[in-house]
C-alpha cells in the first residue's frame, strides 16, 4: 500500500469536511440555549352602576328655520323634524363626572330612556357628538362647528307616545375611555314628519330623559 500523500486538493477537502463536522457539533451544542420566559398576571374588575337622571342631563334642540335661536333653557320638549328647510335636531348629554370612572373603565350596558310626547313614523338616528356644546348657547348655526359621528350608533322610530329605550352602550363606553362625554344628536333621517321627546325641563319628572349605566373598572 502506498503512503497517503497530502496534496493541496486533499488538504482543502479535509479542511472543508472538518469544518462541516464541527458545524454539526456546534449546532447541537446550541440547542436549548435560546429561551423565553412567561410573564403572567391577572386583573380583577369591579362592577357598579351610575344611573343618570334629568339632574345631570343637558339638552336642547336647534331649528333650521331659526338658525340663531336657542331654546335649551326653556323648552319642555325636544323637537326632531325632517322637513327640508325646517329640520330640527335634538341634542342630549349627561354629566358623568359624578361616577368617578377612570379612562380604563368601561360601560357594560348603557340604555337611554326617552318619553315620546309627539309621535311619527320616521326613523330617528342617534349620532355621537365628540366636541363640547351647551344647551344655553347651541343654535343651528353652531352645529357646523361640532364634531359629530358620521355613523349612527342606533336608530328608533317614535311611533307611539310614551317611554322608549335606546341602547347606547358603545358610545358611553367610548366616552368613558376618552374621558369626555358629549352625548348625542338625534336627527330624523327617513322622512319629513316631526316628533318630540320630553326634555330635562319637562314639568312631569317621568317624561324627562334618563340613562341606566352599568360599568366596570
Q: What residue ranges bind other proteins (CB under 8 A)?
A: 1-2, 4, 10, 13-14, 17-18, 20-22, 24-25, 27-29, 31, 35-45, 104-109, 153-154, 167-171, 173-174, 177, 214, 216
- Residue 19 vs residues 15, 27, 123: alpha-carbon distances, Å: 6, 12, 79
**Residue 123: all three cell numbers together:** 326613523
Nearest approach in angstroms of CB 20 to other proteins is 6
H/E run at residue 184:
strand 184-188
* Bridge partners, residue 49, by sequence: 214
Nearer to other proteins, 129 or 196 (CB): 129
Comparing C-alpha atoms, which of 211, 202, 114, 205 is closest to residue 158? 114
- Residue 203 vs residues 76, 142, 196, 209: alpha-carbon distances, Å: 7, 28, 15, 12
Nearest approach in angstroms of CB 167 to other proteins is 5
Nearest approach in angstroms of CB 165 to other proteins is 13
Nearer to other proteins, 111 or 143 (CB): 111
**Residue 201: all three cell numbers together:** 325641563
Nearest approach in angstroms of CB 60 to other proteins is 24
Helix (H, G, I), strand (E, B) or coil at 141: helix
**Angle CA(52)–CA(79)–CA(147) in degrees, nearest 5?**
70
Nearer to other proteins, 119 or 217 (CB): 217
Nearer to other proteins, 9 or 73 (CB): 9
Nearer to other proteins, 41 or 84 (CB): 41
Q: Could you say which DSSP state residue 140 is in?
A: H
Nearer to other proteins, 52 or 153 (CB): 153
Comparing C-alpha atoms, which of 130, 129, 53, 46 is closest to residue 95? 53
Nearest approach in angstroms of CB 143 to other proteins is 24
Nearest approach in angstroms of CB 213 to other proteins is 12
Q: Which DSSP string corresponds to 5-36?
A: ---HHHHHHHHHHHHHHHHHHHHHHHTT----
Amino acid at each position: 500500500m502506498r503512503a497517503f500523500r497530502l496534496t493541496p486538493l486533499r488538504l482543502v477537502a479535509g479542511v472543508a469536511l472538518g469544518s462541516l463536522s464541527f458545524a454539526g457539533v456546534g449546532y447541537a451544542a446550541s440547542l436549548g440555549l435560546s429561551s423565553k420566559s412567561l410573564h403572567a398576571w391577572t386583573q380583577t374588575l369591579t362592577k357598579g352602576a351610575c344611573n343618570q337622571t334629568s339632574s345631570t342631563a343637558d339638552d336642547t334642540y336647534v331649528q333650521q328655520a331659526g338658525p340663531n335661536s336657542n331654546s335649551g333653557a326653556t323648552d319642555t320638549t325636544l323637537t326632531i323634524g325632517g322637513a327640508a328647510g325646517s329640520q330640527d335636531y335634538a341634542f342630549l348629554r349627561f354629566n358623568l363626572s359624578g361616577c368617578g370612572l377612570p379612562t380604563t373603565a368601561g360601560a357594560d350596558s348603557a340604555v337611554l330612556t326617552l318619553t315620546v310626547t309627539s309621535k311619527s313614523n320616521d326613523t330617528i338616528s342617534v349620532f355621537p357628538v365628540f366636541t363640547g356644546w351647551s344647551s344655553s348657547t347651541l343654535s343651528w348655526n353652531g352645529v357646523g362647528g361640532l364634531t359629530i359621528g358620521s355613523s349612527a350608533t342606533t336608530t328608533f322610530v317614535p311611533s307611539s307616545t310614551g317611554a322608549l329605550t335606546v341602547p347606547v352602550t358603545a358610545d358611553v363606553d367610548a366616552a368613558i375611555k376618552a374621558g369626555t362625554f358629549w352625548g348625542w344628536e338625534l336627527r330624523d333621517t327617513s322622512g319629513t314628519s316631526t316628533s318630540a321627546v320630553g326634555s330635562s325641563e319637562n314639568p312631569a319628572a317621568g317624561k324627562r330623559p334618563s340613562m341606566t349605566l352599568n360599568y366596570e373598572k
